[in-house]
Amino acid sequence: MTQLLQIAAIAAATFGTGAAALSVMNEDIPDLFIPEGDWADTSALDGKTFRIYGEVPSRSAVLEDEIIFRDGTFQSTDCENYCVFGWSDYQTKTVDGVIHFTTTAICPDAPHTVVWHGRITGDDVVIDTTWTTRRWYWTNQIKVHATGSVIPSAEVAG
């Protein structure tokens, strides 16, 4: 019994120290910074779909995506290929005639958080996004910058 207790104590000390070491040494990468403002659930972009083309600054990957606004919610068709994020509530604010929107999509099956910030001028949109994966042993982040324009509903894929 004493031996079992000692083994349990060694295991507890190892796991406890491991967890402490990982939490101290793992540098968290914050999600995309969203500027303060009068963000509100306005549904101002409902019915609009944008086709966007982007690049990942640190990689050679190219992004082609369609982002859809419907019933006060947002969805990225490309992100749905990797995780069923579903529809996320979005907020907007207007600054000098430019509509800003933001939304945070959380993957229910994996530790992915995708934060969006877009600026819409007329039919054009400029977007910054971070895809952050927080595993217990590290945090990985992909940053994307994309631009695009509105497309008619008939052209929406899927």
Which of 64, 82, 145, 156 forms a contact with other proteins (CB under 8 A)? 82
Looking only at the bridges linking them, the beta strands covering 49-55 and 62-70 are antiparallel
CB of 111 closer than 8 Å to CB of 133: yes
Give min distance, CB of 69 to other proteins, in A. Answer: 22
Q: Which residue type is seen at 86?
A: G
| Residue 13 within binding range of other proteins, rule CB under 8 A | yes
Which of 44, 106, 126, 142 forms a contact with other proteins (CB under 8 A)? 142
Give min distance, CB of 74 to other proteins, in A. Answer: 17
| Residue 137 within binding range of other proteins, rule CB under 8 A | yes
Q: Applying CB under 8 A, which part among 43-51, 65-73, 78-86, 116-124 lies near other proteins?
A: 78-86
CB of 22 closer than 8 Å to CB of 136: yes
Q: Give the count of alpha carbons within 13 A of 9, CB side only.
A: 6
Per-residue mark of binding to other proteins, 15-54 (x: CB under 8 A): --xx--xx-xxx----------------------------
Count of C-beta atoms within a 10 Å radius of residue 57: 9
| Residue 14 within binding range of other proteins, rule CB under 8 A | yes
Name the helix (H) or strand (E) containing 18: helix 2-25
Q: 26 phi and psi, to 5 degrees?
A: -75, 120
Residue ranges that bind other proteins, judged by CB under 8 A: 3, 6-7, 9-11, 13-14, 17-18, 21-22, 24-26, 59, 61, 79, 81-83, 110, 112, 131, 133, 135, 137-138, 140, 142
